[in-house]
Amino acid sequence: MDTTGAPRELSGRALATALRTETTERAAELTALGTTPHLAVVSATADKSSAWYVRSIARAAEKAGLSCSVVDLGPDATPATIRDRLRALSADPTVHGIILQTPLPAGARLDDLASAIAPVKDVDGANPLSLGRLAAGLPAFAPATAEAVIALLDHHGITLEGRHAVVVGRSTVVGKPAAHLLLDRNATVTVCHSRTHDLAAVTRTADVLVAAVGRPRLITAAHVHAGTVIIDVGTNPTEDGALVGDVDPAVARHAAAVTPVPGGVGPVTTALLLQHTIRAALTVE
């Protein structure tokens, strides 16, 4: 809490800019040595917000000097077609990073298909092998969103060691990997989900609260105390095309610090995806 009593806003924009600057420098160095880092984004959906997200990744990649191929297989693509394309990209020496965009066509499972992404190119940590290695404390690409949670906390000088971190959400893309990364930083971690009894009673004990649910305004003043630092991962589109988080904006007055939506986790996630692609290019070469 600052001296005006207003909660601190944990913006992700400055961190994202710093990460992108570093990525642009590394991409230029690699390109000068004859290898332009190349990210491939595989999509099989007609979902508009997904298309917007893919375009924003491609724009950010190109702006940073990476090349980016968007492989649009269309919403009718079969799991076999998607798997074959992921295998082909994994075997292609000119491709360094691969992302499989969600949502997937009905009947296709992310964990099943992402197993076809070579772990060294799995820049969004989607292959179950990556999550397993992360859980075992071994080097692996973490899902960029989960890593963005830690990067934001570090950037804003929030200590994790010995503190109680409560993660609401247990998906393999955000909740579980975020919990592993928090544990690696010596936080005491509790993971909540849709079957948790009396969610507010648990979250009120958090020093750091990570909301990764996908339910607008689920986290209210009743879920926090004056010292809680909140990372709002939720990105929920409203009817008028805006984005809102999982945290009710009114909570800001009752907590120590909170990330904005948009402008918090989102820009850091994209910047980390590009940074991972640089790392993959250095590994693959």
Of the candidates 202, 127, 133, 208, which has an alpha carbon nearest to the alpha carbon of residue 172? 127
Residues 17-36 within binding reach of ligand NAP (CB under 6 A): none
Q: Which stretch binds ligand NAP (CB under 6 A): 31-39, 66-74, 230-238, 273-281?
A: 230-238
| Angle (CA) 144 131 93, round 5° | 70
Q: How far is the CB of 284 from ligand NAP (least distance, A)?
A: 25
């990067």: which residue's tokens? 151
Q: How far is the CB of 129 from ligand NAP (least distance, A)?
A: 19
Binding ligand NAP (rule: CB under 6 A), the pick from 23, 127, 235, 275 is 235
Binding ligand NAP (rule: CB under 6 A), the pick from 125, 169, 177, 260 is 169
């790392």: which residue's tokens? 279
Which 3-state string (H, E, C) describes 56-101?
HHHHHHHHCCCEEEEEECCCCCCHHHHHHHHHHHHHCCCCCEEEEC
Residue 146 binding ligand NAP, by CB under 6 A = no
Distance of CA 23 to the CA centre of its chain: 17
Q: How far is the CB of 11 from ligand NAP (least distance, A)?
A: 14
224 within 8 A of 203, measured Cβ to Cβ: yes
Q: Which stretch binds ligand NAP (CB under 6 A): 4-12, 78-86, 170-178, 274-282?
A: 170-178
Q: Which stretch binds ligand NAP (CB under 6 A): 91-99, 123-131, 169-177, 250-258?
A: 169-177
Of the candidates 1, 6, 65, 64, which has an alpha carbon nearest to the alpha carbon of residue 31? 65
Residue 212 binding ligand NAP, by CB under 6 A = yes
Give the count of residues interacting with ligand NAP (CB under 6 A).
26
Binding ligand NAP (rule: CB under 6 A), the pick from 8, 215, 217, 225 is 215
Alpha-carbon distances, residue 115 vs 80, 84, 99, 181, 202 (angstroms): 12, 11, 12, 21, 34
199 within 8 A of 222, measured Cβ to Cβ: no
* For ligand NAP, the closer CB: 97 or 175: 175
* For ligand NAP, the closer CB: 30 or 174: 174
* For ligand NAP, the closer CB: 30 or 224: 224
> Using CB under 6 A as the criterion, which residues of the chain lie in contact with ligand NAP when the complex forms?
145, 168-171, 173-175, 192-196, 199, 212-215, 218, 233-236, 265-266, 269
